[in-house]
Chains A and B, each alone.
Chain A
């Protein structure tokens, strides 16, 4: 399950002797050195050397981004849903196909570009290398163009497949039953890869100065940048909308009103009820700046968070969810970057507990109960590390 490029990196010395990252940097250095030597031998202009270096830089940055895909997807744990698992297996199967389809878009781009460059090109070769360049130079430039085109093709390949995968994952996630889901960590990996692809698109803009005198190519690069960025942003957005909790637990968290927060400081524990909200992805609770648990959480961010459904008439109907992990405490410094999220959380609190809000607003209250956000009410988010779920007497550990 490897791409041609990866196979080369891991099997040819000296690259195979180095960790990924360094072997890529070594390639950068090698290409640069060869380019500079050729530049001196054939007495090229400084600007030509600069363009060559930009080209190498683009190819290497793209390699760094794209080579995270393989290792990440190889350690991907199987989703706990047959359909989602099948989808991701298919996604991986196509992405790293034995027949190396990943090279096709790159090859197509390369051939089209070379034909354009040598037949209809607007003197780009002359602009880069001067009149009647040596065959050695032409070969080196072709190699560089291949390096860039191949990765450009990988960008198209990965972002289209990622979008396809995300659309289907989102669809399948809506049909889940009971405990089916794709774990939190895995969804985060997928999102991170999509964000990587956005950077991949942005890097393509570095190619603009090299082909600036050809308007046609400039618009193609801009279109490429837009295409890669938009597909990847859409894909990342769709993944962020896939619930990481299975429906059984999702419903429990969505429908319950209260939760218990457990804290511990120097071994002494503390447990209190809180109101909380769930935005489909994160769990937040509110607490007072004056509260004991706030003081503990500032020193020890580890918490336990329990949500349950009590049914005293039938214990087999009891459900409980225990999330252990860490808290993120929202303060003034989070406003610039998290403003929208904080505002959304506040709105959810107002919708979920309208009576509470009214009661709080109309009474003379001690300081600990005042509602002014940030100043006296603190927003706290639960960052799960481990999830345990009880249904009746059965205990299930849910992978995060």
Chain B
């Protein structure tokens, strides 16, 4: 499936994503995260603390959405963004020495990419003991610019 360039530009060109999870009572929760998008896998990755509310929510309910957008205070027709909906997977939680080689490799790759993308902001902070990588398997993406919408369904 070819992802439209407008969507790719947004997902590759921005730092912040706003992740929305909800608990078993359908109470939503939003947090800003740093993320990376991997087009070949159609996945989004972000690193978070395993004790955070979003991780608790994701264990109860793996459905997740994330919005990445560009905002213009002067002209609403320049507002542009992507909302991704999908399901989250938290790869093996627990002490790092019990992780499988595959997961460790993933951690290394993602973390290196994070460091590449967010060098300016995260400096040399290593992956902490309670950090987990959350992967979002993308099911649907909605793109908007001003009043115009476009959406893509995956998988």
Interface residues of A (CB under 8 A from B): 257-258, 260, 262-273, 275, 300, 302-306, 308, 310, 312-313, 315, 318, 320, 322, 324, 353, 355-356, 359-360, 363, 365-366, 368-369
Contact = CB atoms under 8 A, between A and B. Distances in A.
A49 B16 CA distance: 75
Interface of B: 15-16, 18-22, 24-32, 61, 63-67, 69, 71, 73-77, 79, 81, 83, 85, 120-122, 147
Contact of B61 (A267, A312, A356, A366): A267
Nearest to A305: B30
Given A270-B20, A271-B20, A359-B76, A322 B30 contact: yes
Contacts of B64: 269
A356 B79 CA distance: 11
A356 B28 CA distance: 28
A279 to B, nearest CB: 19
B22 A320 contact: no
Given A257-B71, A269-B85, A272-B83, A308 B32 contact: yes
Given A258-B71, A267-B22, A320-B31, 15 more contacts: A258-B73, A260-B18, A260-B67, A266-B26, A267-B24, A269-B22, A269-B64, A270-B20, A272-B81, A272-B83, A273-B79, A306-B32, A310-B32, A355-B74, A359-B76
Nearest to A360: B76
A273 B30 contact: no
A271 B121 contact: no
A373 to B, nearest CB: 17
Contacts of A275: 76
A356 B25 CA distance: 36
A302 B30 CA distance: 12
A271 B67 contact: yes
Given A306-B32, A313-B120, A359-B76, A264 B69 contact: no
Interface class of chain B by DSSP: strand
B147 A365 contact: yes
A324 B85 contact: no
Contacts of B19: 271
A302 B27 contact: yes
Contacts of B121: 312-313, 315
Given A271-B67, A273-B67, A306 B18 contact: yes
Contacts of A268: 63, 65, 85
18 contacts: A257-B71, A257-B73, A263-B28, A264-B26, A267-B26, A267-B63, A271-B20, A271-B65, A271-B67, A272-B81, A273-B67, A302-B28, A304-B27, A306-B30, A308-B32, A315-B122, A320-B32, A322-B29
Contacts of A304: 20, 27-30
B75 A359 contact: yes
A384 B77 CA distance: 31
A268 B75 CA distance: 31
Contacts of A310: 16, 32
A368 B148 CA distance: 10
B24 to A, nearest CB: 8
A257 B69 CA distance: 14
A64 to B, nearest CB: 36
Contacts of B73: 257-258, 353, 355
Nearest to B29: A304
